[in-house]
Amino acid sequence: MKTIFKAVVAGTGFYVPEKILTNKDLELSLNTTDEWITTRTGIKERRIASKDESASTMAARAAKQALEFAALNADQVDMIIVCTSSPDILFPSTACFVQKELEAFNSAAYDISAVCSGFVFGLSIAEQYIKAGRYEHILVIGSEVNSRIVDWSDRSTCILFGDGAGAVLLKRIEQSESIGILSTHIYSDGSLSDLISVPGGVGKTGINKQDIDDKKYFIKMAGNATFKVAVKRMTNVILEALKYNNITIEDINLFIPHQANQRIISAVAEKLNLPEDKIHMTIQKFGNTSAASIPIGIENARLEGKIKPGDVSVLGVVGAGLTWGAGVIKW
């Protein structure tokens, strides 16, 4: 009889910088107000990395929490996947710096780039390795220093983003019943790449003064067009995930969406007929932390007692690329 492997969440952790930047703080430098930001995004404050912090340092801190939670030594980790669009440097990978900090030298370590969808993409990769029986312990980490790639004079983007990291430690178990990562579903559409991007390309044009003057190394976003596409794609992929697992909206204990914008989350929830008390929100405290928002949300929900054994959680993401996806976890 064939052995059936499952990927279960054995540990979680998150880290956010100490510095808090409130909407009131932004009123001092931008033509905006706390009310304007709150009503349009749901964000009240966000965290900003110090000069000594980076994607790798925050990722390592979140990973150490996940390892401690799982009662696992770093040398037992088989793979480290860091999901980031704000890496420390172009290369080596941020994951290699995390590996060095953890002293997890028995692992393969690499980055993936799917921006705000990154964590679910990383989870999907890790799930396949574990279910195939190839690896036993995989760290999937989302970590971002968005504050370094936003134009702080552009109120349409800089108000949205914050810094932080979250980590999940997946463990292989032999189990026939449905548990752990039940499924992941990921998609991309490169024809919509202009909706959200950092258009300055090191490999495309090299670093040049004109691109710097034109602020092409900062996030650019077509807000209204992104909203419509995001709601449709996230809703559809969540419905696909539910159908795949033969579960209904009523079976969901908690929906943990990417924290892009409260209006997007509310619109998706409305289309799914998902009650508000089943939606976990962190956007008011942390803003949009891109690839880190899902693992931060998972650990935040756990700490608040919203995740219990036997519960079913659904993850939903959409990000630049365009990328989008969903995941279903039974705890």
Q: Establish whether 258 is a catalytic residue.
A: yes
Q: Establish whether 236 is a catalytic residue.
A: no
Q: What is the H or E stretch that residue 183 is in?
A: strand 180-188
8-state DSSP, 286: H
Distances in Å between the Cα of 77 and the Cα atoms of 85, 93, 135, 215, 263 are 23, 17, 9, 40, 38
Residue that has been written with the tokens 């279903």 in this structure:
328
* The one catalytic residue among 137, 258, 280, 300: 258
Pairing relation of β-strands 254-257 and 312-319?
Answer: parallel
Amino acid, res. 201: G
Rg value, the chain, Cα: 19
* The one catalytic residue among 23, 116, 137, 185: 116
- Distance of alpha carbon 169 from alpha carbon 8, whole angstroms: 8
Instruction: Say whether the peptide bond before residue 169 is cis (omega within 30 degrees of 0).
Output: no
Q: What is the H or E stretch that residue 58 is in?
A: helix 55-70
Q: Establish whether 31 is a catalytic residue.
A: no
Instruction: Say whether the peptide bond before residue 275 is cis (omega within 30 degrees of 0).
Output: no
Range 225-264 burial, b when 16+ CB lie within 10 A, else e: ebbebbbebbbbbbeebbeebebebeebebbbbbbbbbeb
Range 11-48 burial, b when 16+ CB lie within 10 A, else e: bbbbbbbeeebebeebeeebebebebbeebbbbbbbbb
- Distance of alpha carbon 244 from alpha carbon 149, whole angstroms: 37
Phi-psi region of 246 (alpha: psi -120 to 50; beta: other; left: phi over 0): left
CB 218 within 8 A of CB 244: no
* The one catalytic residue among 23, 146, 261, 288: 288
Looking at the annotation, which residues are catalytic? 116, 258, 288
